Amino acid sequence: MTVANPPALDLLLSVEDLRVEFRTGPGRVRAVNGITFDLVAHETLGVVGESGCGKSVTSLAIMGLLPKPAGRIAAGKVIFDGTDLVGLKPEEMRAMRGRDLAMVFQDPMTSLNPVITIEEQLVEVIRAHDSKTSKSAAYQRATELLELVGIPNPKVRLRGYAHQLSGGMRQRVMIAIALALHPKLIIADEPTTALDVTIQAQILELIQRVANETGAAIMLITHDLGVVAGMTQRIQVMYAGRIVETATTEELFAHPRHPYTVGLLRSIPRLDLGDNRALIPIDGLPPDMTRERSGCPFAPRCAWAIEHCLTEDPELAPVTPGQRTIAAGPDANHRVACWNPATDAEAATGVPSTGHVSAITASTEARAAAAAANLAEPS
């Protein structure tokens, strides 16, 4: 597959055929199964999928923070600003973390050290990369950072501890820590999942604002389509450790093609469409990632499945056949990995048009086998 970008855009991150495995008791879990994607500077990318689809593992792999010794990058490249991060020595990778790429974690309640002050934690990141920075300069910078993320009385807060802050405030501090050295890429892994709804909106607005102000690219990982809808330029839908569909945010919401994306969209209430349609859940469970399988991983749960889906795994390819792939940037094209993508009409109803008989329903044996395979080893 040829991946090309208009020359005007700076390619910031290029992930090529990344595969991540975890050693577990019964076998290897293939958490990420060969994903390829690009991110250009200043871009905001949403990565969507259900629990266990490999979103967080992808971000940890990029950061070089996979839990050791269980997790490892089995294959692929992570090229950041021209450097392949996969081959870096631990010390080189450490020097890049925080300075070039930073991360905001899911749970602000546990991501701050409870026994040291906010100041120590902020000054830590500033001085971790440049020990020549004087303490007073680092303190000054820490105050500015807290102001930037909207924390009142920064000087007082710096002396305080994590437990004296609310969840939203703590996430603001985490964002301030991530921003401290002007990284080019900030990976936000479910940054609002642990927060209540009103705070979620504030934090998302904050991430968007600081991204604009500092020019950092954002990779926003979430299971919540509502979160990405408002603030990302491009979305990538993941299922079973691979990317099944990617498009600009508008395009994806308007013309979802992959049955899984359709399912995700039809399983959340939409206020903007102004109707009271029943929600359609996606039946079944994600596949067992410890076993090799043939065919599309979503096929056992898919109403659109045809015979082909059970035998061959579809590649991510442009929706319009023959189109050149543009992997990132505002002109990125709509690509889907599906043998029998949904049409706009089908996407609107959330079910395949009448007359289509799912290959799965047709071959009930295959379905039973797939179900048995899923149940045999519950993860």
Partner 1 sequence: MAGNNIVLRQTIEEPLKGSSLWRDAARRLVHTPSAMVGLFLIGLFVFVAIFAPLIAPYDPTAGNIIHKFQPPSPEHLLGTDLQGRDILSRIIWGARASLWVSILSVTLGLIFGLIVGAIAGFFGGWVDFWAMRMVDVMLSLPGLLLTITIVVFLGPGLNTIAFAIAIENVPIFARILRSSILGLKESDFTTAARSIGARESRILTNHVMPNSLTPMIVAATLALATAIVDAAGLGFLGFGPQDPSTPEWGTMLTDTYRYLTAGAGFTALFPGIAIILAVLGFNLLGDGLRESLDPRLKR
User: Chain-centre distance of CA 119, in angstroms?
Assistant: 30
Q: Does 210 bind partner 1 (CB under 8 A)?
A: no
Sole binder of partner 1 in the list 7, 25, 152, 274 (CB under 8 A): 152
In terms of CB distance, is 99 or 291 closer to partner 1? 99
Indicate the residue among 9 and 96 with the shorter CB distance to partner 1.
Answer: 96
Binding to partner 1 by residue 46, rule CB under 8 A? no
Question: Is 63 among the residues that bind partner 1 (CB under 8 A)?
Answer: yes
Residue placing its CB nearer to partner 1 in the complex, 152 or 322: 152
CB of 188 to partner 1, least distance (A): 11
Q: Does 253 bind partner 1 (CB under 8 A)?
A: no
Look up residue 268 and give its amino acid: I
Residue corresponding to tokens 């973390």: 97
How many CB atoms neighbour CB 67 within 10 A?
A: 10
For residues 1 and 156, which CB has a smaller minimum distance to partner 1 in the complex?
A: 156
Least gap, CB of 117 to partner 1 (angstroms): 8
Q: How far apart are CA 184 and CA 244, in angstroms?
A: 26
Among the listed residues 3, 79, 128, 285, the single contact to partner 1 using CB under 8 A: 128
Site pattern 159..198 for partner 1 (x: CB under 8 A): xxx-xx---------x--xx-xx-----------------
Q: Applying CB under 8 A, does 105 fall inside the site for partner 1?
A: yes
Identify the burial level of 23 via C-beta atoms within 10 angstroms of its C-beta, where 0-12 means exposed, 13-18 middle and 19 or more buried: exposed
CB of 194 to partner 1, least distance (A): 11
Q: How far apart are CA 327 and CA 234, in angstroms?
A: 10
Cβ 234 vs Cβ 44: under 8 Å: yes
In sequence order, which residues have a C-beta less than 8 Å from that of residue 317 and are 6 or more positions away?
A: 1, 325, 335, 336, 337
Q: Is 124 exposed, middle or buried (0-12, 13-18, 19+ CB in 10 A)?
A: middle
Q: Binder to partner 1 among 35, 47, 102, 149 (CB under 8 A)?
A: 102
Instruction: Pick the closer one to partner 1 by CB: 116 or 362.
Output: 116
Question: Which residue reads 């039946």 in tokens?
Answer: 283
Binds partner 1 (CB under 8 A): choice among 18, 103, 229, 359: 103
Packing angle, helices 118-129 and 167-179, rounded to 10: 20
Neighbouring C-beta atoms of residue 1, cutoff 10 Å: 10
- Beta strands in 201-343, from DSSP E residues, in sequence order: 217-222, 234-239, 242-248, 317-318, 335-336
Provide the mask over 219-248, with x wherever binding to partner 1 is found by CB under 8 A and - wherever it is not: ------------------------------
**Binding residue count for partner 1, defined by CB under 8 A:** 40
Instruction: Report the alpha-carbon distance of residue 262 to residue 99 in Å, rounded.
Output: 38
Binding status of residue 129 toward partner 1 by CB under 8 A: yes
Question: How far is it, in rounded angstroms, from Cα 30 to Cα 24?
Answer: 10
* Residue 369 touching partner 1 (CB under 8 A): no
124 scored as a contact of partner 1 (CB under 8 A): yes
Only one residue has tokens 């991501």, namely: 111
**Residues that bind partner 1 in the complex, under the rule CB under 8 A:** 63, 65, 67, 94-99, 102-103, 105, 107, 110-116, 120-121, 124-125, 128-129, 152-153, 156-157, 159-161, 163-164, 174, 177-178, 180-181
